[in-house]
Amino acid sequence: MVLVGRVRGRLARSSGRWVSFLLAAIVVTGCTSSAAEGGPSSPATTSSEPPKPVLLALSVSDDEEDVEPGQPVTVRAEYGAITKASLIGKHGTHVKDDLRSDGTFWTTTEPLGYGKTYTLTVEAKGEDGKTVTEESTFTTATPDRTVAVSINVWDDETVGVGMPLIFTFTGPVPDRDAAEDAITITADPETEGDFRWFGDSQVIWRPKEYWEPGTEVTIDAEIYGKDFGEGTFGAEDKTVSFTVGDKLVAVADGKSHKLTVSINDKKVKTMPISMGKPSTPTPKGIYTVMSEHNWYTMDSGTYGVPADSPGGYRLDVEYAVRLSNSGIFYHSAPWSLGDQGRTNVSHGCINLSTENAAWLMNKSNRGDLFEVRNSGGPELDPTDGWSVWQLSWEEWRSQ
């Protein structure tokens, strides 16, 4: 605007000088002139556009059906402001709402019910000073079925840097993109990550790299009322907040028969171990701590080998930490003290002394990393437990 003003000022002064010169010429010559004959005319005036009527954009139309109850109902105003708006249920229920201070945007702030009829009424005033009223009556969807979701992280939990975020639905989800869109993961500091589906009812989100210690994370699984396709809708929202603790990594080596524990990349303890014997070797790879137990019953029958059969077992251990769904634990094993640090004799688990198992379990959190090397076993299956770090970032996103 400043530049435009200056340009206009220069033009006005130039016109004034030109007019003075012309008048002098008229006096000298005694001739007359008019605008129609090519003389100068008066400066043009700029006309402004007339005030406009308000335009309203409603997110729902009149007589619309199958509206998603989990999506907010909104109204936007252009060339004016919303002065009053409400959403009322068929039986008089007033839905909570919020109107932006400048009157340009209105929204509901709570979800709607399934299979309900609502009337939206909006009053707005335009730039032209005229008030308009619009009304829309619509019906929300009635689901054929609903699915709930569970999350593997607890509220206020401190987890390890390898923790994957696992969302398990109670039934198949036809529209995977819609389910992912309903889940918001907020991390401070910001953390890059992505989803990967394991079957039709479970999706896992993991960071590109290990979480940074101290990261604060909030999960908002706002699935209620969201359309997941083929008549399937979300049943209930879930919110969880957690903190990432120290970076604890335990590395078990089948050749040296030792377990080395590092915390925040500093080695803090080395202890003797015994892993799976040649007939039952421990799968090699990067495990993630899943759960911790005191006085846990180790039963080969849960993995298809009866306890009373050759190679079977059933015994109680004081400290046991699950590393896979297939039955790999690290646990206290006082019966194998003579073999720990020397040879591998277990059925696949990592045997520790009672004191060392207690120490490690006390230091560890769910989501910590446990790597097995030189075990002579097969590669750990990425779908066995929380073994998501068995896949590279490119493999993770290739689905």
- Residue ranges of the domains in the chain? 55-140, 145-244, 248-389
Reading the chain (399 residues) residue by residue, the pLDDT tens digits are 333 332 333 333 333 333 333 333 333 344 334 444 444 444 444 557 899 999 999 999 999 999 999 999 999 999 999 999 999 999 999 999 999 999 999 999 999 999 999 999 999 999 999 999 999 999 999 999 999 999 999 999 999 999 999 999 999 999 999 999 999 999 999 999 999 999 999 999 999 999 999 999 999 999 999 999 999 999 999 999 999 999 999 999 999 999 999 999 999 999 999 999 999 999 999 999 999 999 998 877 766 777 777 767 788 999 999 999 999 999 999 999 999 999 999 999 999 999 999 999 999 999 999 999 999 999 999 999 999 999 999 999 998
Q: Give the model's pLDDT for residue 32.
A: 39
How far CA 394 is from CA of 200, 201, 352, 390, 397, in Å, comes to: 21, 23, 36, 12, 5
- The answer to whether the 145-244 and 248-389 domains have the same CATH topology is no
Structure tokens at 264: 């925040």
Residue 91's Cβ-side half-sphere holds a number of Cα atoms within 13 Å equal to 2
What pTM did the predictor assign?
Answer: 0.83
The set of residues, in sequence order, having a beta carbon less than 8 Å from that of 90 and lying 6+ positions away, is 116, 117, 118, 119
Can you give the pLDDT at residue 44? 47
Give the residue carrying structure tokens 């936007």: 76
State the pLDDT at residue 3: 31
How much is the pLDDT for 315? 85
Give pLDDT, residue 299. Answer: 77
- 202's tokens: 């479970």
Which entry of 31, 91, 94, 349 is annotated as an active-site residue?
349
**Smallest Cα–Cα separation from 269: which of 333, 355, 160?**
355
Q: Which long-range contacts (CB under 8 A, 24 or more apart) does 128-132 make?
A: 128/50, 128/51, 128/52, 128/53, 129/51, 130/53, 130/54, 131/83, 132/53, 132/54, 132/56
Specify whether 331 is catalytic: yes
Domain 145-244 fold is Immunoglobulin-like (2.60.40)
Mapping DSSP onto H, E and C, the string for 287-308 reads EECCEEEEEEEEEHHHHCCCCC
Under CATH, what is the fold of the domain 55-140?
Immunoglobulin-like (2.60.40)
Token pair 């009337």: residue: 119
Question: Does residue 349 carry a catalytic annotation?
Answer: yes
Torsion of CA 103, 105, 110, 112, to 10 degrees: 120
Catalytic one of 31, 94, 293, 331:
331
pLDDT value of residue 281: 97
Any idea which architecture 248-389 has in CATH?
Answer: Beta Barrel (2.40)
